[in-house]
A and B are shown apart, each in its own frame.
Chain A
Amino acid sequence: MNDLTPPTHDERVANLKGMGHSRKRVEDARFTQGKGNYVDDVKLPGMLFGDFVRSPYAHARVVSIDTAAAMAVPGVLAVLTAKDLAPLNLHWMPTLAGDKQMVLADGKVLFQGQEVAYVVATDRYAAADGVEAVVVEYSELPVVTDPFKALEPGAPVLREDLAGQTSGAHGARRHHNHIFKWEVGDEAATDQAIGEAEVVAEEMVYYHRTHPCPLETCGCVASMDKINGKLTLWGTFQAPHVVRTVASLLSGIEEHNIRVISPDIGGGFGNKVGVYPGYICSIVASIVTGKPVKWVEDRMENLMATAFARDYWMKGKISATKEGKITGLHCHVTADHGAFDACADPTKFPAGFMSICTGSYDIPVAYLGVDGVYTNKAPGGVSYRCSFRVTEAAYFIERMIEVLAIELNMDAAELRAKNFIRKDQFPYQSALGWEYDSGDYHTAWDKALKAVDYDGLRREQATRVEAFKRGETRKLLGIGLTHFTEIVGAGPIKNCDILGMGMFDSCEIRIHPTGSAIARLGTISQGQGHATTFAQILASEIGIPADSITIEEGDTDTAPYGLGTYGSRSTPVAGAAAAMAGRKIRAKAQMIAAYLLEVHDDDVEFDVDRFVVKGAPERFKTMKAIAYAAYNQAIPGVEPGLEAVSYYDPPNMTYPFGAYICVMEIDVDTGVHEIRQFYALDDCGTRINPMVIEGQVHGGLTEALAIAMGQEIAYDEIGNVKTGTLMDFFLPTAWETPHYTSDHTVTPSPHHPIGAKGVGESPNVGGVPAFSNAVHDAFRAFGLRQSHMPHDHWRIWRIAHDLGLHD
């Protein structure tokens, strides 16, 4: 072989580094060398700095705000309060959930950490000194942090602005602290099925309040150019185009005069989807001063005031035959939304996709009702590395299955297998209205059980229980099972929108004359590795190497409109747009190739990186040659150039699934746990980059570990945040993180152009119940049914204590 030997088919495929290739992440060269460019790295001449005065109280009247001393601090230029924003009608802002939220305290504060005044100064230190010097007089009001107490007749009125409003964005409100009631399914039929059932299990399952806590906190730089009337906004935005539209609607600045740029983002996990007061105040400050204004929150502000996740009280009833065939599922959620309803859900889904709570199981009839409630806690309710409320749904059903198994005195693995939707039932219509696209749950489940030697583990567990009872050990063994089904890739425009914008996504691609390319998408990577994986999709679709394709996202002046990155939607939606744009390129390339080869269009076919004449593989034109021809030859009936754009409206969601098993040792005296084994099988359909998938799974499992085993946003009775720093808010390091074994099956999505389903959020969705079920399972032999997360040391100790396991 020499240089003239033509590459083999396999060599040509390998050269592309297309789909299925564990291509190294192109982003990592800069991230691992500290050369990323984040919002806080944006430094502009004359830039000012903003900082907030925040409420120390969870509920109080703002009697007065004295800014004189702050204005006297050297470097302080302005102190904005609600009074200053009111003439612009910017003292309140709309939320993504159809509610409104105070930008700065308008007469009262409703949660600890709420924004009260915004200090603008020439440097960051002066801004902080200014904050210290603002004098706010408060008059405390009664606080309610419990959503059940919030709905009692005599509960304090939180939202005085809603007085007399008996309906909100999602229908009727029955109480002054009630936001909405959302119902899906047939309650009468469900009640009947449960009423007639041989076995019924009931349980309250609480998924506690936590926080996405991205390493980089939220922030922005607003720069209003008064000469040309253009506003540029750099920010940590998971949905830059939506921010542009919202900014235009709020400010009255025409949308073409607003440029939103999401630079490198240090993690989002849902925390950076919403619009925060800091963005509004920075924009106003820049418009007023004519100078760029930077606002970057600190860790405590991030944990206290920007969007939390979960806080769902889920009351469940599940019924079955004596043999364990499930006959019905009833779920009622009391959803604590905090002081403002600032969830980031598609408009028609105020509880997100909680209605996926029938999980992986063939449940004939089901009902879901969700009551949204205001409390004196921070607003949010975002999807922390999950599709909208899918983690809550998965945790609910996977706990209910375990409780039902206890009720039936049946092995929980067997109960699951007995009720899985069978492969031949797909596409499957769920009782709560979803059409599951594809799945093969039994195959995945059997593979998982075999991989961990499930029967052997159960034998070991039984032996351990006996040894424990004899006093020979103080450690118990828990086997945590989960089979989750996700619903991601929002979503079809017919039922998914945010602020009226359909949840399509987009890709625009330009092939350069020398055969390399740039592609831009409406999404924005926050660490997922889009520049790596989207290039791989295009490489396989177009036939030019991934290394020759630049991926750009996040600049609304250059990227096509898209709804952004959250809810595992990048691959299902923008990935599909990329594939479709690639196919448009290929269609045109086919015409050019046929012309160059002097054959009919139908006489050439695509072959990895070229078009070949059918039956004569020695006659071909590579994509590189075709790209050049597109720019230097007059081809009859074909426009010059080689570009394409695709806006993709998905026909359905995708339904990734997986089987996770956690083996945990628990010390009953200290509550300390040790993860002995964690096996994670994911089926995300077609796999684009196995290495990136594994990285996603490891990251998501580590977040799941955190949530299940200690991470929470806790409040005391008067609404003080008890977990406002990383001392108390659990963020695992390498030391706390166990080893994970990942595995997969491949069941492509039938409606997605490349069969991919998305994977980024699966490990959080499936991981939380796997860890939690392991804790519960360890104590099953001693009578435990349900104990709420997080399972930190003292709460595990409390389980053992309440079961009488301490002398």
Chain B
Amino acid sequence: MIPAAFEYHRPKDVGGVIALLQQHGDEARVVAGGHSLIPMMKLRMTDVQHLVDLQDVAGLGGIQVAGEQITIGAMVTQHMLINNADLTEAAPILKEAALQIADPQVRYMGTIGGNVANGDPGNDMPALMLCLGATYTLTGPNGTRKVAARDFYEAAYVTVREDSELLTQLTFAAPKGGYAYEKQKRKIGDYATAAAAVQIAREGGLCVAASVSMTNLSDVPVWSKAAGAALVGTDCGPAAIRAAVDAALKDINPTEDNRGPVEFKRHVAKTVIGRAIARAWSRS
């Protein structure tokens, strides 16, 4: 658990970061909270010659809740998400999910930007962002572009972000209605065996909008359009939930690991998604 030698950079602004990324190409990696990258370096499973620390970079922090629009800087920690009253008021699912990430020590360091940008299918925030229909802002040598979270993930650890781009912020519309992030894990600090994020809007006795996404059930976070569609127009009763769960299960492709075989994961996914929908509906 001793990393190989590397150069350490601590730029002050986004321009400085981009310049370093351009200069060193795939030999450079940015580090935010470090909870994914540092262990990989210590295990010598990733070769980072130039480590670009974002801690001093201006303009990457802050949580803004402006009317319907929520903007979160990439360097906002899980701890900050949990303790921001405006955010919890506007989008309580973030707090519910962030509280299920590891432990307080990790949450003091771990950032939302690192969590979504790394492309680790085990991370919780990507599925959440898919559920919320968030947009990521990427800044690179040619300026800034926006990418829908639902278009961002291509494969495990592979995203549409270019090597010389930095994910700087996340934006999404304040969600309406009930919410739930339901996660099964073996223990504190573990990735999900299966997890589901659900937002449901209700008018009268019927569901008018629903979004369902899942963590660690494929090599990318999964947003199930069909699952949401199966709930719209229903009372989210047992039959509707069953239909939504069946639809969601068609969109996942879990693999066997120490958490269990595929058949088990599909069964847990079924249970977890069903519970998330029921809880979100009960809060809607």
Known: A670-B268, A794-B261, A797-B264. A125 touches B187 (CB 8 A): no
B42 and chain A: residue at smallest CB distance? A298
A672 in contact with B260 (CB, 8 Å): no
Q: Does B258 contact A (CB under 8 A)?
A: yes
The total of Cβ contacts below 8 Å across the A-B interface reads 67
A128 in contact with B2 (CB, 8 Å): yes
Q: Does B259 contact A (CB under 8 A)?
A: yes
A723 in contact with B258 (CB, 8 Å): yes
Q: Does A710 contact B (CB under 8 A)?
A: yes
B187 in contact with A797 (CB, 8 Å): no
Known: A125-B2, A125-B5, A672-B184. A793 touches B258 (CB 8 A): no
Interface string of B1-12 (1 = CB under 8 A from A): 110110000000
The size of the chain A interface, using a CB distance under 8 A, is 33
| CA–CA, A722 and B259, complex, Å | 11
Known: A128-B2, A132-B4, A669-B271. A794 touches B187 (CB 8 A): no
B186 in contact with A730 (CB, 8 Å): yes
B44 in contact with A132 (CB, 8 Å): yes
What are 24 A-B pairs at a CB distance below 8 A? A51-B2, A124-B2, A125-B2, A132-B44, A299-B1, A300-B1, A671-B264, A710-B187, A714-B258, A728-B258, A730-B187, A733-B189, A735-B103, A735-B188, A792-B186, A792-B260, A793-B184, A793-B193, A794-B260, A794-B264, A797-B264, A797-B267, A797-B268, A801-B263
Residues of chain A whose beta carbon lies under 8 Å from any beta carbon of chain B = 51, 124-125, 127-129, 132, 298-300, 669-672, 710, 714, 722-723, 726-728, 730, 732-733, 735-736, 792-794, 797-798, 801, 806
Instruction: Give the chain A neighbours of B264 by CB distance below 8 A.
Output: 671, 793-794, 797-798, 801
Q: Does B190 contact A (CB under 8 A)?
A: yes
A670 in contact with B103 (CB, 8 Å): no
B267 in contact with A806 (CB, 8 Å): yes
| CA–CA, A728 and B257, complex, Å | 10
Most chain B CB within 10 A, of A125, A670, A672, A735, is at: A670
B73 to chain A, nearest CB (A): 29
B47 to chain A, nearest CB (A): 11
A129 in contact with B5 (CB, 8 Å): yes
Contact of B260 among A125, A793, A806 (CB under 8 A): A793
16 more A-B residue pairs beyond the given contacts A128-B2, A727-B189, with a C-beta to C-beta distance below 8 A:
A51-B2, A125-B2, A128-B4, A298-B1, A671-B264, A727-B190, A730-B187, A735-B187, A736-B188, A793-B184, A793-B260, A793-B264, A794-B260, A797-B264, A797-B267, A797-B268
B39 to chain A, nearest CB (A): 9
B2 to chain A, nearest CB (A): 4
Residues of chain B whose beta carbon lies under 8 Å from any beta carbon of chain A = 1-2, 4-5, 44, 103, 184, 186-190, 193, 258-261, 263-264, 267-268, 271-272
Known: A793-B193, A794-B259, A794-B264. A670 touches B184 (CB 8 A): yes
B258 in contact with A722 (CB, 8 Å): yes
Instruction: Give the chain A neighbours of B260 by CB distance below 8 A.
Output: 792-794, 797
Instruction: Give the chain B neighbours of A732 by CB distance below 8 A.
Output: 187
Which secondary structure dominates chain A's binding surface?
loop
Instruction: Give the chain B neighbours of A798 by CB distance below 8 A.
Output: 264
Instruction: Give the chain A neighbours of B103 by CB distance below 8 A.
Output: 733, 735
Instruction: Give the chain A neighbours of B259 by CB distance below 8 A.
Output: 793-794
Most chain B CB within 10 A, of A728, A736, A793, is at: A793
B258 in contact with A669 (CB, 8 Å): no
| CA–CA, A733 and B5, complex, Å | 33
A714 and chain B: residue at smallest CB distance? B258
B245 to chain A, nearest CB (A): 12
B258 in contact with A736 (CB, 8 Å): no
B44 to chain A, nearest CB (A): 7
| CA–CA, A551 and B5, complex, Å | 45
A300 and chain B: residue at smallest CB distance? B1
A712 and chain B: residue at smallest CB distance? B258
| CA–CA, A124 and B261, complex, Å | 40
Instruction: Give the chain B neighbours of A124 by CB distance below 8 A.
Output: 2
Contact of A129 among B1, B4, B263 (CB under 8 A): B4
A129 to chain B, nearest CB (A): 7
A669 and chain B: residue at smallest CB distance? B271
Instruction: Give the chain B neighbours of A300 by CB distance below 8 A.
Output: 1
Instruction: Give the chain B neighbours of A736 by CB distance below 8 A.
Output: 187-188
| CA–CA, A1 and B15, complex, Å | 80
A793 in contact with B186 (CB, 8 Å): yes
A733 in contact with B187 (CB, 8 Å): yes
Give 8 nearest A-B pairs by CB, closest first.
A794-B260, A128-B2, A794-B264, A298-B1, A669-B271, A735-B188, A728-B258, A733-B188
Instruction: Give the chain A neighbours of B4 by CB distance below 8 A.
Output: 128-129, 132
